[in-house]
Chain A
Amino acid sequence: MPNTISAGDTAWLLASAALVMLMTPALGFFYGGLVRRKNVLATIMHSFFILCLISVQWVLWGYTLAFGPDHGGIIGGLDWLALKGVGQDPGPYAPTVPHEAYMVFQMMFAVITPALITGAFAERKRFKAFVVFTLLWATFVYDPVAHWVWGGGWLGQLGALDFAGGTVVHITSGVSALVAALVLGRRVGFGREAMDPHDATMTVLGASLLWFGWFGFNAGSAITAGGLAANAFVVTNTAAAMAALTWMTVSWLHKGAPSVLGAAAGAVAGLVAITPASGYVDVSASILIGLGAGIFCYVAIQVTKRFKVDDALDVFGVHGVGGAWGALATGIFATVAINSGAKDGLLYGNPGQLGIQAIAVAASITYSAVMTFVILKLIDVFVGLRVPESEEVLGLDASQHREAAYQI
């Protein structure tokens, strides 16, 4: 293959991969601040461990399942097992960067997606069960859905637009989080005793680092260092800001005070919602997408709480609902004026795109819900999902890791 590598594109993609890598430990701090102090280490460990686990899984078989040569629109072949054939020359997905650079950028998406789910089963899941679940979920949920959308699979062939992972990352993780919360059941004392965040400052710091890393997530998904990346960067920042302002305002009107944690959660909801749209919409659309994210995700969490579902850190409300809204909004606001290689949405005379987006949303919801349920039930039989009640009361830091976060 002739050498067509662009130094600028390669530098941007590698820098973006590093930005996205930072998001997973940032998520650990975002979640870590929200749990009680007896569970903070265990919660941070979920994200840190996944960074290690999926980094190895991805190079061994994850990448080839997701991006290997297509088999029936369902799954990638094993041609690139252990990255055989994935080298310094460009691959089929990005003609101006080394195939290895594209692979490692995608690796960081595969890493953070199962980490998002951990917020739903925080403070009660057995570590061994978490390890097995993560490995199975990455292999049987993330890798196939990534192939469907980005690896030449059936949703991509259908014309579904997902610039940086609204369906692949956020709907799959958000819906799986809801299933996990229902299968595991509520924490001991849920609804009877306070389970307040032990360190809100840690959570705001985590949200800020997530926001920072998200520039790599979305603008990096342009793959090239050019105008499309710049637009994705701008709309990402705008939607995050608008959603944070909206969430804070709604909570202010609803509960009487402008919540700091609400602003942080709102920013994340906006980042989630703009993710699938970031390569297809303009700034005005990003303001409306952020507005919708702040309202819909806030309402979804209130409904979840009303039904007494113990999605401990509101993963479904933020990622499931935010991802679905973003995917549908892409079908409304997308315009070829931003991305000539894409399609117009509903507002630009192509209502069919909204239908395609709805199919992508429904397919990713259904598949991830069913597979997550099956995986969790199997693990419950062979390993056991929850720690015993006495260990849950003691806290996972002590019972699972024999360590304590704070010696003060």
Chain B
Amino acid sequence: MEILAFVSFAVLVVAWLVAPSRGNVIVVSRTSEDRKAA
């Protein structure tokens, strides 16, 4: 069972390495300067 515990943690670590490093970014707020410029 100890082996399964190590393996399951290792699977998580590998998943973090292959997971997307950045998702789609959506701008949800702007500064007052941004609004003036617009």
Contacts and interface: CB of A to CB of B under 8 A. Distances in A.
A284 B16 contact: no
A256 B12 CA distance: 15
Nearest to B3: A284
A323 B20 CA distance: 31
B8 A256 contact: no
B37 interface: no
A39 interface: no
A283 B8 CA distance: 13
A107 interface: no
Interface stretch (A25-33, A44-52, A245-253, A390-398): A245-253
Contact of B15 (A253, A256, A285): A253
Contacts of A347: 1
Contacts of A252: 15-16, 19-20
Contacts of B8: 242, 287-288, 291
- Dominant SS at the A interface? helix
Interface in B1-38: 1-2, 4-5, 8-9, 12, 15-16, 19-20, 23-24
A249 B18 CA distance: 11
B12 A246 contact: yes
Contact of A257 (B5, B12, B23): B23
Contacts of B15: 249, 252-253
Contact of A256 (B1, B4, B9, B23): B23
A252 to B, nearest CB: 5
Contact of B1 (A253, A258, A284, A291): A284
Contacts of A245: 12
A403 B20 CA distance: 44
B34 to A, nearest CB: 23
Interface in A227-284: 242, 245-246, 249, 252-253, 255-258, 282-284
Nearest to A291: B8
Nearest to A285: B1
B24 A256 contact: yes
Given A246-B12, A249-B15, A249-B16, A284 B5 contact: yes
Contacts of A256: 20, 23-24
Interface of A: 242, 245-246, 249, 252-253, 255-258, 282-285, 287-288, 291, 333, 347
21 contacts: A242-B8, A245-B12, A249-B15, A252-B15, A252-B16, A253-B15, A253-B19, A256-B20, A256-B24, A257-B20, A282-B1, A284-B5, A285-B1, A287-B5, A287-B8, A287-B9, A288-B1, A288-B5, A291-B8, A333-B1, A347-B1
Interface of B: 1-2, 4-5, 8-9, 12, 15-16, 19-20, 23-24
Kindly list the 3 A-B residue pairs having the minimum CB-CB distance in the complex, ordered from nearest: A256-B23, A287-B5, A284-B5
